[in-house]
């Protein structure tokens, strides 16, 4: 027995890989990026950029190796449009990208910061230049949402996190057309009490499809006397009925540890909204917001995450 816990993710030595000083125009911070691998192997990040009013928009950064030499678009790629979409009054945040083969389009599900708090909005795009907005698909207060890439029994499926005070859980909802949502199912509950994922949890990047099920990296928010701590955990869900949780880890797998994660506009936050899976089918790169200030990269193995879950799954019924 040693006192070392298993590390599932290795931080990039050059972290943070992107921050405000890299930006081609004046901003406050850049964090919580959505991510996807384009057909030519380029990594595309759709970064949440907070301007110097405190409002967020989304800007594309591309890199051929997914690590450095980021080509950042010289102006915002996707801005809030509060005249046409009043729910975007205070900006758009935290995009999750899913490639949808049936539509040959990417679904970008993002937070619209409305007068009454966060809601979930959807836009489709083929090229990350033109975006076709569907407007709000889950009214406030709701966030941390992503679309699954395929229909399940003929229905689109969306993971999201409505707030039902005092706790906030992950839910799954279904739609025949991406506009009308129903058949809502509770997917994963926040625990209670001293747990790292007590009271408030939410999806982090979109789920990762594996032969064993949908592997979900989710965040848990621990309230402490000196503020919140955002950490990440793992759970596995049935491929054909994703509201059904097969395994849930008891311990967190990644938390704020480095100075750039512990100190920033919001201290003690690691918050990924995107990952890429390498052609080897195993190497997972997670792109995460660090302290709501910059972007970090951490690399892990899908096989190791599934093994860890097998060995650390919750045997306790304690919610
Ligand atoms: C969450 C979201 C994230 C943010 C995090 C920490 O509720 O708003 O955008 O990174 O809080 O501030």
Q: How far is the CA of 19 from the centre of ligand 1 (A)?
A: 17
Q: How far apart, in Å, are the Cα atoms of 83 and each of 87, 121, 314? A: 9, 15, 47
Q: How far is the CA of 32 from the centre of ligand 1 (A)?
A: 8
Taking 70 as the pLDDT cut, the residues of the chain under it are 1, 316-319
From the list 248, 252, 216, the residue with the least C-alpha distance to 231 is 252
Sequence-distant (6+) residues with CB within 8 A of 87 are 112, 114, 119, 121, 135, 136
Domains and CATH numbers, the chain: 23-311 (2.115.10.20)
pLDDT of residue 205: 98
pLDDT of residue 315: 75
Rounded Cα distance, 55 and 147, in Å: 25
CA–CA–CA angle 47, 164, 82 (5° rounding): 40
pLDDT of residue 282: 98
Q: How far is the CA of 311 from the centre of ligand 1 (A)?
A: 30
pLDDT of residue 158: 98
Ligand 1 contact via 266 beta carbon (within 6 Å): yes
pLDDT of residue 4: 83
pTM of the model: 0.97
Q: How far is the CA of 125 from the centre of ligand 1 (A)?
A: 25
Distance in angstroms between the alpha carbons of the first and the last residue of the chain:
30
pLDDT of residue 221: 96
Ligand 1 contact via 32 beta carbon (within 6 Å): yes
Token pair belonging to 156: 């689109």
Nearest ligand 1 atom to the CA of 265 is 12
pLDDT of residue 12: 98
Task: Determine what percent of the chain falls in helix, strand and coil, rounding each to the nearest 5.
Answer: 5, 50, 40
pLDDT in tens, 180-211: 999 999 999 999 999 999 999 999 999 999 99
pLDDT of residue 164: 82
pLDDT of residue 24: 98
pLDDT of residue 317: 56
Ligand 1 contact via 294 beta carbon (within 6 Å): no
């Amino acid at each position: 027995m040693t006192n070392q816990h298993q590390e599932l993710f290795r931080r990039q030595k050059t972290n943070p890989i992107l921050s405000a000083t890299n930006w081609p125009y004046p901003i406050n911070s850049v964090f919580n990026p959505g991510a996807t691998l384009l057909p030519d192997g380029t990594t595309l990040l759709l970064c949440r950029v907070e301007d110097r009013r405190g409002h967020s928009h989304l800007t594309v950064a591309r890199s051929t190796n997914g690590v450095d030499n980021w080509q950042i678009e010289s102006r915002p790629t996707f801005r809030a449009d509060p005249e046409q979409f009043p729910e975007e009054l205070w900006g758009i945040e935290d995009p999750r990208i899913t490639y949808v083969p049936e539509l040959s389009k990417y679904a970008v599900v993002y937070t619209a910061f409305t007068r009454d708090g966060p809601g979930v909005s959807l836009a489709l795009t083929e090229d990350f230049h033109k975006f076709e907005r569907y407007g709000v698909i889950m009214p406030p207060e709701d966030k941390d949402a992503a679309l699954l890439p395929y229909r399940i029994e003929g229905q689109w499926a969306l993971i999201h996190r409505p707030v039902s005070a005092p706790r906030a859980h992950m839910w799954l909802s279904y739609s025949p057309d991406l506009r009308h949502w129903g058949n809502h199912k509770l997917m994963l509950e926040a625990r209670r009490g001293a747990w790292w994922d007590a009271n408030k949890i939410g999806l982090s990047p979109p789920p990762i499809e594996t032969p064993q099920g949908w592997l979900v990296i989710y965040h848990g928010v621990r309230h402490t006397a000196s503020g919140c701590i955002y950490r990440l955990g793992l759970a596995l869900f049935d491929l054909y009925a994703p509201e059904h949780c097969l395994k849930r880890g008891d311990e967190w797998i990644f938390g704020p540890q480095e100075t750039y994660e512990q100190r920033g506009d919001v201290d003690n936050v690691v918050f990924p909204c995107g990952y890429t899976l390498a052609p080897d089918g195993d190497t997972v790169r997670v792109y995460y917001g660090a302290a709501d200030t910059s972007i970090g990269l951490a690399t892990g193995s899908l096989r190791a995450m599934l093994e860890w879950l097998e060995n650390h799954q919750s045997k306790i019924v304690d919610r």
